[in-house]
Amino acid sequence: MFDKLKQLGQFKAFQDEAKNQKFEASKQGVKVIVNGNLVIEEIILNNALSAEEQAQTVKDCVNDAIRNAQVGLAEKLKNLNLGF
């Protein structure tokens, strides 16, 4: 039982740390930063792109940043060895 409580504490610490981590992706001068809770923190646009190019690039960057966050957090979670 104490092992489960210890694991729960480790997982809570992981969650707290994750929300402070930043993951980013950039392409064609557009940059997107998300945190470990997969919430967009910042979007930097490139005004030199057309509206259509900018929309597609933002979409690509958001998807890449979220993917980067998922991979990074999965690796960290795997290293915790919580036994889930």
Q: DSSP of 15-57, one letter per residue?
A: HHHHTT-EEEEEETTEEEEEETTS-EEEEE--TTS-HHHHHHH
What's the pLDDT at 77?
Answer: 81
What's the pLDDT at 42?
Answer: 97
Question: How many structural domains are present in the chain?
Answer: 1
Q: pLDDT by residue (tens digit) across 8-47?
A: 777 778 777 888 899 999 999 999 999 999 999 999 999 9
Give me the CATH number covering residue 35.
3.30.1310.10
What's the pLDDT at 82?
Answer: 57
pTM of the full predicted structure? Answer: 0.79
What's the pLDDT at 28?
Answer: 97
Domain hosting 76: range is: 2-80
- What band does 81 get if pLDDT is binned at 50, 70 and 90? low
What's the pLDDT at 6?
Answer: 74
